Amino acid sequence: MGTTYTHLSIIERRQIERWRHAKVPVDEMAKVLKRCRSTIFRELKRNHFSDESMPKHDGYYGAAAHLMQADRRARNDRLIVAHSTSCYPRQTTWQCRSAS
């Protein structure tokens, strides 16, 4: 079996946000959360909020990060569904026509 993992929860993301603002080292965050340090670095890089119209508010925000992750997951799920529906209806339609 493959390695299992769990996604970061909203609580963990809010904790990372507070620690980030307090300038806690990533190694310390990883140790307390019992996560690999690369997970924390990836989280900070992937979910960094940036808006040209509000440059003073650039940074990592736990709630925004959780929403971005949910949006990415939903987009990925739609891609999987779109891919599977584009393949199977043709086969199903063809199978229905040959059975009639």
CA 100 to chain centre: 46
Indicate the pTM of the whole model: 0.65
**Residue 34 located in a structural domain:** yes
pLDDT per 10-residue tile (average), the chain, 100 residues = 78 94 96 94 87 83 87 74 48 42
User: What pLDDT does residue 70 have?
Assistant: 86
**Residue 3 located in a structural domain:** no
User: What pLDDT does residue 96 have?
Assistant: 42
User: What pLDDT does residue 40 have?
Assistant: 95
- Please give the torsion angle defined by the CA atoms of residues 33, 10, 61 and 49, in that order, rounded to the nearest 10 degrees: 110
**How many domains are there within the chain?**
1
User: What pLDDT does residue 6 have?
Assistant: 82
Give residue 22's domain range.
Answer: 10-99
User: What pLDDT does residue 78 have?
Assistant: 65
DSSP string, 35-83: --HHHHHHHHHHTEE--TT-GGG-EE-HHHHHHHHHHHHHHHHHHHHHH
